[in-house]
Structure 1
Amino acid sequence: MLTPNPTALKIHFIASEAEPFAKAGGLGDYAGSLPLALRELSANATNQQIDIRLTIPYHSSIEADNFSIKKICDLKIDTQERKSEGEAFLTTINGLPCYLISQNSPPYMNDSVYSTDAIMDGEKYIFFSLASLELLRKIQWKADIVHANDWHTAVAIYYLALTRNKNHLLKNTKTLQTIHNLPFMGEGTQPVLKKYNLPLLEDPDLPLWARQLPFALGLAKADEIVAVSPTYSQEIRTAAFGNGLEKFLEKRKEDISGILNGIDIKKWNPAQDQLIERCYTSENLQARKENKRAILSILSLSIDEDLPLLIMVSRLDRQKGIELILDGLHSLKELAWQAVLLGTGNTNLENACFALENDMPDRVRAVMRFDKKLAHQLFSAGDILMMPSLYEPCGTSQMIAMRYGCIPVATSVGGLKDSITNESDGTRTGFLFEKHTTKAFLNCLRRALGLFNRKKVWQNIQKRAMEEDFSWKRSAERYLKLYLGLHKQLKQPQYKK
């Protein structure tokens, strides 16, 4: 068992996925990075220690041989029929305690992190949410804050609110709910909530349809709500982005804040990236040309360093605005450019990308697959990243691209707006457009292409972009301040010099 530090701020961080155990999307990066960054922040603080512990499901895809994992206890959760049983295991990653919770003989088997079956995911994550609180009782760890993420763990916050007065261990525990992607609320899991004796929430501020959806339940009872960017925290209170909860969230606006996510600046570092042809920094941008020549050669495109290379590195989904890219490039034939589209997802969009390559075989390549190495190579070789998202709670591709000197052209939404400076050419780190239309995207892309030909101006944009701080340390400092405020501790952390 772990020995608790009685003076440390104790954070129980629960998520559906986390690197290096299991990752299906951006939440895996977040949950695998933020707790470690907070722990490192604690190590450098002189007056505030943090005991943060990560808990995720013990997915069948987790390769146990890669970790030193030991069982610590059995878990039993009440249902309408009988107890649902599971087990809790403990391991560590770089000193961070990590709990893995499994469900014994689950009624639904699924090897992936998420399923397309709502009942299957409901069973998996509602059991997990309740078991994550039972784990605290079993190990007698009095968490000061329970930090949940998206709908998959929101039930933990709801259940704690329902049982707080009878729960002596967690009676004073505060709760924080992070919104990564509001549209996914756990629709279809209502029968599982009923199975686990979780009642309909009688809250007149919530729409009737939301009163038995996991995410809405957690949002209604959380002491604090955090969106993954400042702009997204405002957008979710509007009809365009609130998914029917905008009026409810507007009433809770005093409890809502936004903190921009970070990226792994060790993994995404053009000065030391072993997956690219030539490493470089903002001080030797000419070296990027070697990466450009290499990728053009690999993809059998004509090698011309003066032609702008447009790239897309994205999941193929309507949210990502892929149609704007395809329609826009069709309409941009009169200008000289080359483009590489990398991604996988919606079959119709994949086919549309292939059709664009067939239409313009001398300037477009469509690579429809997940390819980690090629993604690194494209960021290091591309001149412009196209990212016309319909909505983007945070986004990381634009941050990675900027760190590599690849300048984003993006919609002015969510984390894109918060991470890209678009005010003037003297301060610019990228290009933003307001209306989500092909015309607006094209006009913005033309502006970028115009500046690309002014080499000195373009290099200054690249240097500013590469020098931006998108580290998790910056995000962790903001979360720690929020934790302390939530816990009503007046002293702010002081760090070792």
Structure 2
Amino acid sequence: MRPLNVLSVASEVFPIIKTGGLADVAGALPSALAEEGVTVVTLMPGYPAVLNALENAETLHQYPAFFGGTARLLSGRAGGLDLFVIDAPHLFERPGSPYLAPNGRDWPDNARRFAALGRAAADIGQGLVPGFIPDIVHAHDWQAALVPVYLSLTGQPRPGTVVTIHNIAFQGIFPADLLFELGLPASIFTVDGVEYYGQIGFLKGGLQLADRITTVSPTYAKEIQTPEGGMALDGLLRARSGIVSGILNGIDDKVWDPATDQHLALTYDRGSLERRAANKRALQDRLGLKPDPDALLFGVVSRLSEQKGLDLVLAGLSRLLSEGAQLALLGAGDRTLEESFQTARVVYPGQVGCVIGYDEKLAHQIQGGSDALLVPSRFEPCGLTQLCAMRYGSIPVVSRVGGLADTIIDANEMAIANGAATGFQFGPVTFGAALDAIDRVKHLWRDKDAWHRLQANGMGADLSWHRPARQYADLYRSLRAV
């Protein structure tokens, strides 16, 4: 088959810059696609961290006027990836996260910043870089979703377009009076374009005009076509259901490998699970927990938000910690939840340990040292922490939604008997159902042989990007054939 050129467009890419799972996907998928005969170059904004990491930078194009200032399109490599980078200091040279100012609020010019990302991607799609003409432009989330919009306005032959929804709750909605500032004509401000309840909808416009729409699990693809899960875009998605599909994420099995992970106190594999005990002790020491090898240690690695269901953990904390159980938490987000977990650490000394913020090393240590990992999300497009937990022998305890439902096989009696179970599911996402799941976990914890079988089942699963990459490659090729 003729090789495919794909331009991937993402606002964050691991290991260069990361705030969530989007970065993991954008960082891991290109190398997996290479094995499928797909060449990927990733376009991303020139944040300071990106420009500092960029190797062999070369200027490909100069923009004398680009959304409020001069800009350059650069090429180079960073983090093992081939990149195009938008060097636009007036848009991206600033402190804070990619999306938020140091005060925790959205940058007020996010519309211009990410319209610039879409505009540059469309230019590359139209041949701006002669040495790389993409067959497909793959836009990730609302920050890149204007790509199909800009390409639709050219009136010229264009590459195929794919928009992937990583979380439909984040849509990029901005005032209508920015239309012309973003280089969009009045003709596109319609229900069939970017108009969204009188405002400009970046994601809405992308979903309306993309050739294909994907999301990150089959169950989430169904959920977002319902009023309960579609965040007011369900009607559009139902109308375009013929081009909507769900492709499960994988994890980078080189980064997430307990046999080689240098973040751990002691490496191990499926055949040496007894070595996990050293990691449990190291995690207990790190977080000030009682050094008890027999305590059931629950882990959490999560954004702290209502979506993630961490309020359920707080509400059921006394039941969770009964019988000497422990909790190790890493996360940041909602200020009230942050303060509540910090208070819990004081109220339950030696049983609750928490670090507010993000620490990649500690994330690996929680996966390698916890006995079970809690993911009680109210909705979850795919989820990566439960996949990492399986890989590391930490038993996932998840709500039955989205990708959590698709990736974890519940430890019911039949699944345990058949040797298929990999974790615990509960539903609906309520306080009572969550507590029932905790009781089931504690019951199985007493049966060490059954517990070890669950660990071995999870660690033996193929959680890599190989199968998802093949599905994306097939999708790209079907689109090129249209």
TM-score normalised to structure 1 length:
0.88
Q: 1:294 to 1:332 in 2, by over 3 A?
A: closer
Query: Could you tell me which residue of structure 2 aligns to residue 113 of structure 1?
Result: 98
How far off is 1:53 after superposition?
1.6
Contact 1:207 1:245 in 2 (8 A): no
Q: Does 1:469 align with 2:458?
A: no
Q: Does 1:28 align with 2:29?
A: no
Residue 74 of structure 2 is aligned with which of 89, 97, 103?
89
Residue 194 of structure 1 is aligned with which of 180, 183, 189?
180
Residue 35 of structure 2 is aligned with which of 40, 60, 82?
40
C-alpha distance in structure 2 between counterparts of 1:95 and 1:366, whole Å:
33
Query: Could you tell me which residue of structure 2 aligns to residue 229 of structure 1?
Result: 217
How far off is 1:59 after superposition?
1.4
Query: Could you tell me which residue of structure 1 aligns to residue 169 of structure 2?
Result: 183
Corresponding letter in the other structure for 1:102: D
How far off is 1:217 after superposition?
0.4
Deviation sequence 1:407-436 (CA, Å, 0-9, x none):
011111111111111152231101111111
Query: Could you tell me which residue of structure 2 aligns to residue 133 of structure 1?
Result: 122
Structure 2: gaps (5+ residues): none
CA RMSD between the two structures: 2.4
Contact 1:201 1:217 in 2 (8 A): no
Query: Could you tell me which residue of structure 1 aligns to residue 136 of structure 2?
Result: 145
How far off is 1:61 after superposition?
3.0
C-alpha distance in structure 2 between counterparts of 1:202 and 1:68, whole Å:
43
C-alpha distance in structure 2 between counterparts of 1:298 and 1:84, whole Å:
47
Query: Could you tell me which residue of structure 2 aligns to residue 481 of structure 1?
Result: 474
TM-score normalised to structure 2 length:
0.91
C-alpha distance in structure 2 between counterparts of 1:17 and 1:110, whole Å:
15
Tell me the secondary structure at the aligned position of residue 11 of structure 1.
Answer: strand
Deviation sequence 1:195-221 (CA, Å, 0-9, x none):
133134433699851762111000000
Residue 345 of structure 1 is aligned with which of 329, 333, 350?
333
Corresponding letter in the other structure for 1:152: Q
C-alpha distance in structure 2 between counterparts of 1:229 and 1:193, whole Å:
33
How far off is 1:183 after superposition?
1.5
Q: 1:452 to 1:71 in 2, by over 3 A?
A: same
Say which is worse superposed, 89-98 or 231-240, in terms of deviation: 89-98
Query: Could you tell me which residue of structure 1 aligns to residue 323 of structure 2?
Result: 335
Q: How many residues align?
A: 469
Q: 1:143 to 1:65 in 2, by over 3 A?
A: closer
C-alpha distance in structure 2 between counterparts of 1:233 and 1:487, whole Å:
23
How far off is 1:358 after superposition?
2.2
Deviation sequence 1:355-390 (CA, Å, 0-9, x none):
222222242222223222222222111111111011
C-alpha distance in structure 2 between counterparts of 1:241 and 1:119, whole Å:
28
Contact 1:86 1:104 in 2 (8 A): yes
Corresponding letter in the other structure for 1:100: V
Contact 1:339 1:364 in 2 (8 A): yes
Tell me the secondary structure at the aligned position of residue 366 of structure 2.
Answer: helix
C-alpha distance in structure 1 between counterparts of 2:343 and 2:94, whole Å:
38
Corresponding letter in the other structure for 1:325: V
Say which is worse superposed, 274-283 or 83-92, in terms of deviation: 83-92
C-alpha distance in structure 1 between counterparts of 2:353 and 2:124, whole Å:
50
Q: 1:379 to 1:102 in 2, by over 3 A?
A: same
Residue 377 of structure 1 is aligned with which of 362, 365, 377?
365
Structure 1: gaps (5+ residues): 1-5, 43-49, 490-497
C-alpha distance in structure 1 between counterparts of 2:53 and 2:221, whole Å:
40
How far off is 1:321 after superposition?
0.8
Tell me the secondary structure at the aligned position of residue 28 of structure 1.
Answer: helix
Contact 1:86 1:103 in 2 (8 A): yes
C-alpha distance in structure 1 between counterparts of 2:281 and 2:80, whole Å:
42
C-alpha distance in structure 1 between counterparts of 2:305 and 2:74, whole Å:
36
Residue 310 of structure 1 is aligned with which of 258, 283, 298?
298
Corresponding letter in the other structure for 2:23: G
Tell me the secondary structure at the aligned position of residue 41 of structure 1.
Answer: coil
C-alpha distance in structure 1 between counterparts of 2:51 and 2:66, whole Å:
29
C-alpha distance in structure 2 between counterparts of 1:184 and 1:91, whole Å:
30
Q: 1:35 to 1:366 in 2, by over 3 A?
A: same
How far off is 1:298 after superposition?
3.5
Contact 1:186 1:213 in 2 (8 A): yes
Contact 1:388 1:441 in 2 (8 A): yes
Tell me the secondary structure at the aligned position of residue 178 of structure 1.
Answer: strand
Q: 1:94 to 1:191 in 2, by over 3 A?
A: same
Contact 1:75 1:131 in 2 (8 A): no
Q: 1:406 to 1:193 in 2, by over 3 A?
A: same
Contact 1:308 1:338 in 2 (8 A): yes
Q: Does 1:456 align with 2:444?
A: no
C-alpha distance in structure 2 between counterparts of 1:237 and 1:351, whole Å:
36
Q: 1:143 to 1:372 in 2, by over 3 A?
A: closer
C-alpha distance in structure 2 between counterparts of 1:194 and 1:40, whole Å:
42
How far off is 1:94 after superposition?
7.7
How far off is 1:95 after superposition?
7.2
How far off is 1:287 after superposition?
1.3
How far off is 1:20 after superposition?
3.3
Corresponding letter in the other structure for 1:97: D
Corresponding letter in the other structure for 1:124: R
Contact 1:231 1:414 in 2 (8 A): yes
Q: Does 1:214 align with 2:202?
A: yes
Residue 438 of structure 1 is aligned with which of 426, 431, 445?
431
C-alpha distance in structure 2 between counterparts of 1:108 and 1:300, whole Å:
39
C-alpha distance in structure 2 between counterparts of 1:133 and 1:12, whole Å:
10
Query: Could you tell me which residue of structure 2 aligns to residue 389 of structure 1?
Result: 377
Tell me the secondary structure at the aligned position of residue 139 of structure 1.
Answer: coil
Name the % identity: 35
